[in-house]
A and B are shown apart, each in its own frame.
Chain A
């Protein structure tokens, strides 16, 4: 039976069919739906949201050492966090098969960078597979488990946004349980990486890489198709699909396994075609390796941004003769108003940024919906680097400038658990007088509302103990702690004033849940009393999508009754008392 599945759903299915027992992850676009699918559809698999990718990976390490087949998933930048255990697990190898699924985001649809994670496979000296649609995503995950066990290595299956969030048909098969016994058997020379053992294992790694190079020549997912020999294209992943679309008659070497590459096969292919191209997204990962082999090849791709069939059509337009090619249509420059994403109407983050802006504070920011605080009209986020960086950077600014009364770190609840806690430990330890605001909206909002240790519910829907941020901060040694309702502008104002002017380190926790968790339950909405509205547009400074100017001739404002959540922050901002509450 065939089903229409996204790449992410297909990866989950592949894990299920492979007999996976443990799956762990930290949510991150575009990888999030993999574990959500596992938890929702495959009760045979224990699935967890871990506090961050490093822990997720380590849970996987333990489960694999105990014999279980393990799927660990994360977005591309998550691998940076998990890199430490990844590189050493390359040495220890596995017991149960270990697949690291990492999902890249070329074009940065929802990421802070677009690093090419294929480099990780080469760097960590482990094999990598790159599927080009959902069917392959499932197959390659299954194949990944066999390769992992056969070659005693963790393996990367790399997808990108256009695989993860594209749907195509997938053939369903049954689950086959793994035969490896589930018990931890002591094997210190393999599992305990002291230098004496590590030196021995490094030799094993290099030997394994040699064997994998031979394997890469034989594995059937390296597919050579000689059609018109005038043009030969070496490609992998989604780029393969774009090539098939744009140049259906060109000869193609499609690599399913991209680390290590099949050098003999590439040489053979190069000899069979007149002009050789490599089509790949982001880094010249394949191109550089092929050039090193002394083969003349032209790289096609974009170092920056997402590859598209349109780009390829344009590139190849005057380079082919006697061959079918799609003709590109030039884009029209229309100069239309952009539609950037914005915090939702009623988002509890909005008032915090509104208040911070009025106080003209420097705001070190972090990763989440609240990063949108950088956009107009709030424009109140001054740094955003990686998960958890707000806390450490605020401390750095304080130490560099000697002032703690003009800088504030803002970090979401899930991000704080991910990697803000260690930053706070540093602040306590190194005597910071700074301020950290934890924007606790009770969910991991940006990736689509996932649970985390601060919500008190697990990925599998069970109630559990809840990390209490105030108790945690106190236990670390933070004296000034306060919980504030962000919809109460006056209280928020006072709490921030007190915290930044204090000689002690302060932690403020704002405590209203994500709007999307409670929009259905609204009891009131805001409405403009046009007789009182003087058209000052102070309320527009909130940047709430529900509030807009009536028309270009009428400066007064209106509130969209469908969008309004009834948070009433705009009513507090209005000096003319023109915004009133209406029960619904």
Chain B
């Protein structure tokens, strides 16, 4: 428990990133870690980039992850994965949801969505895992559980017991969506070998 774990969740406003980061930090706290989490609300939520930093371990000072120190980047969108990649440490992990959401600058033609993002990431980082979280969510029966699929994948790489994940997700999602969330979580988890 001595080691500090640094995580960043990134994506686009509306993808459920803040809920996912709530669940991770709550689970880390229940597992007995000191935890800090930092994110931005307000204007940046209106379809802009969203980042949430989570750090847990024996004793945490800064709520912000330092560049080059991130153990796990959980990217809900490909372009945002690339944008935040330089936070990841050499032997860190990146989990990327294969979703492309065009920013307004691309929609209105003032910028181009970068090509070959997957190659760019895999050529530089040793451990990059791609998942189709939206497909998993569809399969689970609730399209809004893509973020839970991402959590499932992340859970495999984090030092938090499985039963705590289940408890916290049950507590955080609406009653009627529990079953679909559990399915998505398990399918996300099964992707990581």
Contact = CB atoms under 8 A, between A and B. Distances in A.
B79 A337 contact: yes
A229 B154 CA distance: 42
Interface in B11-32: 12-13, 25-26, 29
A545 interface: yes
B51 to A, nearest CB: 11
A494 interface: no
Given A169-B35, A341-B48, A372-B46, A448 B41 contact: yes
A540 B29 CA distance: 46
A29 B25 CA distance: 22
B132 to A, nearest CB: 16
- Identify which of B26, B39, B79 gathers the most chain A CB atoms within 10 Å of its CB: B39
B157 interface: no
A528 interface: no
A547 B107 contact: yes
A168 B35 contact: yes
A109 B83 contact: no
B128 to A, nearest CB: 16
B36 A342 contact: no
A161 B106 CA distance: 30
A109 B44 contact: yes
Contacts of B103: 337-340
B42 A162 contact: no
Nearest to B86: A332
A376 B108 CA distance: 8
Nearest to A240: B61
Contact of B46 (A166, A342, A548): A342
A109 B43 CA distance: 7
A165 interface: yes
A242 B38 CA distance: 13
Given A29-B41, A165-B39, A339 B29 contact: no
Interface string B54-89: 000000111110111100000000011011011000
Contact of B86 (A162, A168, A331, A340): A331
A308 B68 CA distance: 14
Interface size class of B (residues with CB under 8 A): 35 or more
A196 interface: no
B42 A342 contact: no
B37 interface: yes
A166 B68 contact: no
A244 interface: yes
B155 to A, nearest CB: 18
A398 B18 CA distance: 45
A326 B83 CA distance: 22
B162 interface: no
A574 interface: no
- Identify which of B68, B79, B143 gathers the most chain A CB atoms within 10 Å of its CB: B68
Contact of B79 (A161, A167, A336, A340): A336
Contact of A344 (B25, B46, B63, B110): B46
Nearest to A545: B47
Given A331-B86, A339-B49, A341-B46, A110 B40 contact: yes
B38 A339 contact: no
Contact of B44 (A110, A162, A246, A376): A110
Given A313-B66, A377-B108, A548-B102, A336 B60 contact: no
A339 B100 CA distance: 13
A372 B44 CA distance: 11
Contacts of A340: 48, 103-105
A4 interface: yes
A310 interface: yes
A168 to B, nearest CB: 5
A543 B108 CA distance: 7
B45 interface: yes
B118 interface: no
B83 A336 contact: yes
B66 A168 contact: no
A458 interface: no
- Identify which of A344, A540, A545 gathers the most chain B CB atoms within 10 Å of its CB: A545
Contacts of A513: none
A386 to B, nearest CB: 16
19 contacts: A4-B26, A29-B42, A109-B43, A110-B42, A162-B38, A167-B37, A168-B34, A242-B62, A328-B67, A328-B68, A331-B86, A337-B79, A339-B48, A341-B45, A342-B47, A376-B104, A376-B110, A448-B42, A548-B106
Interface of A: 2, 4, 29-30, 32-33, 109-110, 133, 161-162, 165-169, 238, 241-242, 244-246, 308-310, 313, 326-329, 331-332, 334, 336-344, 369, 372, 375-377, 446-448, 540, 543, 545, 547-549, 562
